[in-house]
Amino acid sequence: MISLKKFTFNPYQENTYVLYDETGACVIIDPGMYDGAEQNQLVNFIKENQLKPELLLNTHCHIDHVLGNKFVFDNWSLKPQFHKGELYILQAVAGYAPQMGMHYELSPEPEIFLEETGVITFGNSKLELVFAPGHSPAHLCFYAKDENFLIGGDVLFYRSIGRTDLPGGNHQQLINSIKEKVFNLPDDCEVLPGHGSSTTIGFEKINNPFLT
């Protein structure tokens, strides 16, 4: 069984997730820690639970989701994995971070890119890939089928959706991704987004003003 810890980091209040199972293997998704205190929160949780980080995953590569990539690499020698369509988004961060007043340590680039579909494994657990572009050009979500939750990144929020005014964003593509991919998951699937509180597929089908 996958257990989950959520942290909310950085000025953008981004949700960073650590997924782990009974083997102690863990996955760090969208590390957003920005300062020493936030870095310590993550390290302390991993140490206290005797976890072994095996994978670093990015749903997409906007600055708030990759601020901690370099820190994770420095501590556990993990390079990020994401869809290759996000690479130019990652490469752009170093250029715009200073204009936003953000300190950014350059993220390593992947050795392994993720596909649009497939399964990621760690410990005794697996995550299914759900390709949902629109907020960013090659956004992936990670679905834990046995536990029935989705690490949704910035695709679907409680009564909202991801913004599409950033480079590589496309509003109609995002709507299509949600309706054709994300909404195929069970109604009681819990969506754990990149910002804010969790929701469910069924609730958003009925109550999301962007999708009804």
Residue spans of the domains in the chain: they are 3-207
Query: Does the pLDDT at position 162 exceed 90?
Result: yes
d(CA 51, CA 17): 14
Q: Is the domain defined by 3-207 classed in CATH 3.60.15.10?
A: yes
d(CA 116, CA 128): 10
- pLDDT at site 167: 87
User: In degrees rounded to 5, what are phi and psi of residue 131?
Assistant: -85, 120
Buried b (16+ CB within 10 A) or exposed e, 120-156: bebbebbbebbbbbbbbbbbbbbbbeebebbbbbbbb
Query: Does the pLDDT at position 138 exceed 90?
Result: yes
Query: Does the pLDDT at position 54 exceed 90?
Result: yes
Q: Give tens-digit pLDDT for 56-77.
A: 999 999 999 999 999 999 999 9
